[in-house]
Amino acid sequence: MSRYLRFVVVAIVLGACSSATSRPDVSLTPADVLDMGIDMFGVVADIPHRQYLGETGGTGQAPTVYRWLAELTLLDRGSTDVQISVQDLQAAGLPVMDQGTQLDFVGGMYQDARYRLAGTLIRISISGVYDVRLTVDWQLYDTDTASIVFSGSSSGFARGQNLGLTGMQPNAMLDSFDDCLGDVVGQDEFAAAIASQVSPG
């Protein structure tokens, strides 16, 4: 059985799980997905500069406010908010591309896999100590047909002792991303997109 056919079997099984719940309890890493026959280009961030991401803080404590930092300005230098940037997500272990990178399914270095997956991170929500929710818009590219065969969104959630912004492992930010990746692979539409590309026999 070829590598991408093995991926189809796993995707369909995960897709069956998604019919029973809106978020299957399956977390996947980019390495897991590569074993299924799909390579990840990575994720680009598309979040407005200084967007409010949430806050944390216990009873009787001043809350810590988080904002997205797309570019450093003089106003940002004087801010007391915690500013999260692409570099912070990279430190946490997320496969986030540098600011300004465009999704590219043809150029660049890819593994020997039929399918290529890329995403756009559109939402980060932080609360509690520490609850993290991520939302990613995904596209799946089939190299055999040179076309996008799936487009969809998924959300991930994780709770941890830290956000991983300074490289600490494990962390809630990376766990939330892995949950998000597992969620998209577990969708019926994702499995159907793969299955529809398989030639009989």
Would you state the pLDDT for residue 198?
64
* Closest to 132 (Cα-Cα) out of 156, 97, 154: 156
Quote the pLDDT of residue 11.
Answer: 44
In a domain, residue 13? The reply is no
pTM of the model: 0.84
User: 10-residue block means of pLDDT along the chain (201 residues)?
Assistant: 42 38 65 92 94 86 91 75 95 94 79 90 95 98 94 97 93 97 96 78 48
Say how many domains are in the chain.
1
Give dist(CA 111, CA 165) in Å, integer.
28
Residue 11 forms part of a structural domain: no
Which residues, listed in sequence order, are joined to residue 38 by a DSSP beta bridge? Answer: 115
What pLDDT does residue 105 have? Answer: 86
- Encoding tokens for residue 125? 């929500």
Q: What are phi and psi of 177, to 5 degrees?
A: -65, -45
Q: What is the pLDDT of residue 1?
A: 40
Residue 108: predicted pLDDT: 67
Cα 171 to Cα 164: distance, rounded to the nearest angstrom: 5
The verdict on residue 22 lying in a domain is no
| Residue 66 within a domain | yes
Give residue 112's identity as a one-letter amino acid code: D
Residue-range definition of the domain harbouring residue 85:
39-183
Please indicate, yes or no, if residue 114 is contained in any of the structural domains: yes
Whether residue 4 lies inside any domain: the answer is: no
Asked whether residue 59 is assigned to any structural domain, the reply reads yes
Among the listed residues 122, 117, 95, the one whose alpha carbon sits nearest the alpha carbon of residue 105: 117
- Is 133 among the domain residues? yes
